[in-house]
Amino acid sequence: MKESEISAGFEEMMKFGLVEALLGRRSRRFFMGAEIPDGVFTYKSRRKEFPLTDLEKMLVVSACGGNTSWHHMIYRAARYAPCLSNYAGSAGGRVYPSSAGFHTSQVFFTDDEGVYLLEMRDASAFSDRSDAGSLDPKAFTDNVRKHVRKIRNGRLRLPSKVPYTEPHNTWVVNHPGSLLVIPVGDLAQHVLLNLCYMLQNGLVLYDDINKRSIPGIDRFTDIVDVKKVWPITFVEQWSLAEVTVELGTSCYAGTLMLQAMGLGGWMFNGIDPFAMLGASGDPEVPGLGFRYDTDDRWPYPNPTGLKGWMEGCCPPHYPDMKAAVEAVCERKFGPGGPFHPDTPGPWKDSRKVRSAARIHDERFRECIALQAQYLYDTFGKFPGTVPSMFVIMYLQAHHLDLDFYDEFYRPGSYLKTHADHMADWHRGDSIGSGLKKSD
C-alpha cells in the first residue's frame, strides 16, 4: 500500500472499535445515484453514483476473505491420540472460520470494471504475527491485492429484476457504482472432507433414502465398524449448514468493515443462487459462468465449477470420485498443505507438529472413494441431495447518500464514519469537497 493511499479515513478506520462496529451495524441500502420510485420512501438521489476506489474495494474484499497467517490446527481426539487431528484442508487461516479448518470456499466479487476471484483458499501465511500477535493491516491488504485474478471485463451480467433478484432488491443490487462480494462454497469438497472426518472418527454413510448400506462397505471392517453410521441426508445437510456458516461469516466480517470505513451496504441472500452461479438457463444471464448439469431426478440444476478458476471435487472436473479423493488428500498432505512437514507454521517446531498427523493411507482413501462413488452413481451427482457448488450470502458495499437518511430518519441513522467518509477518504476529489463532516 502506497503512502499516498493513506488518507484520514484510513487512519480513522484503524481507530474504530469492534464494539462500535457491533453496535453500529445496520443495513444501509440507499446509495449515491439510487432511486425509490414510489411508496413511503419515494426518493431520487441528487448525486451521481460514485464507485469505490481501488483501496476501498481492496479493504472490503480483504475483510471478506483475506489471509490472517497460519491456521492453528485442532489438537487432539481421544480416538486416535496421540496423533494430531488431520481434518484441516488449508495451512493458512482467513478472516472467517471454517468447520475443522476445511476452508472450501472462494470469494468472487464484481464492480463496474470486472468480475474477479480472490484466490486465497490455499495461500500460505503472508506474514508471521508479531510477538504481540498483530499483523500489519497494510501488508494484509497488499497481500489480498496480489491474489486477485480478473475473470472478465465489465460488471457481472445478472439483471436487477425478477426472477434473478428478489423484488425488494431490484432497485439496489448490483447497480453501477456498487461492489458486490460473492463467497462460493465447494460443497462437493466439503462433503468429501466430512467423509474423511467421519471415517477418522469411526463412522461411515448409510443410504437412508434407499434404505440400504453402501454396497461393498463390508470390505472395510478392518478399519471401521461399518454398523456405526450417519445417514446420507444428515451428512449432506450438516455439510450444507457448515458451508452456509462459512459464507455468512465472510460477509459478516465485511459488514463490520463497512461500519469502520463509513461505507453503506449490507449482507443479504436476495439473489437467485442458480442464476448467480450461471445456471439460469438464459445465455443473456451468465452470472459467474459456472458449468452445470440437469437431470429429471433433481429439482434444480447442479453447478459444478468454473473451469480454470474454481472446479468442484466431482465429475466432470475429475474422471471419478477416486480421483477427487486423491486431489483432496494432495491438498491436505502434499507440498504446502497443512500436514506436509515442509510447510512452515506458527509453532516453535512446525515440522514436528505437521508430521504428527496420520496420513490417509490407501485403505482409508479406498473407503472414502467407495462411499463417494456410490453417491455419484446412485444420484447422478456428488453430493447426492445438495448442490455441488453453493452460494447463499452476499455483501454489497457502496457510497451512502446521506441526504436520504436526513430526509426520512431522526439523527443517528448513520455513524460518524459515514458522516465523515467523503471528506476523510475523498478530500482531493471534487465530490468530497464541501460535503458535511460530523464535527
**pLDDT averaged over consecutive 10-residue blocks of the chain (439 residues)?**
75 96 98 98 97 97 98 91 95 96 98 98 95 96 97 96 96 97 98 98 98 98 98 98 98 98 98 97 96 96 98 98 98 98 97 97 98 98 98 98 98 98 86 54
For domain 3-432, the CATH architecture is: 3-Layer(aba) Sandwich (3.40)
Contact (CB, 8 A) for 287 and 275? yes
* Amino acid identity for residue 355 in this structure: S
Query: What's the pLDDT at 430?
Result: 58
**Distances in whole angstroms, Cα of residue 312 to Cα of each of 61, 88, 292, 321, 413:** 23, 18, 11, 11, 42
Query: What's the pLDDT at 436?
Result: 55
Residue 423, SS3?
A: helix
Rg of the chain over all Cα atoms, to the nearest angstrom: 23
Contact (CB, 8 A) for 94 and 72? no
Query: What's the pLDDT at 285?
Result: 97
* Amino acid identity for residue 359 in this structure: I
Hey, what's the torsion of the CAs at 81, 122, 65, 310, to 10 degrees? -120
Q: What ranges do the domains of the chain cover?
A: 3-432
What is the 3-state composition of the chain as percent helix, strand, coil, each rounded to the nearest 5? 35, 15, 50
> Dihedral sign, CA of 303, 308, 312, 314?
positive
Query: What's the pLDDT at 434?
Result: 45
User: Whose CA is closest to 90, among 325, 342, 357, 337?
Assistant: 337
**Distances in whole angstroms, Cα of residue 117 to Cα of each of 87, 149, 150, 391:** 25, 5, 6, 14
User: Whose CA is closest to 321, among 279, 396, 287, 371?
Assistant: 371
Q: HSE (CB half, 13 Å, CA atoms) of 125? A: 17
Query: What's the pLDDT at 432?
Result: 56
Global pTM?
0.96
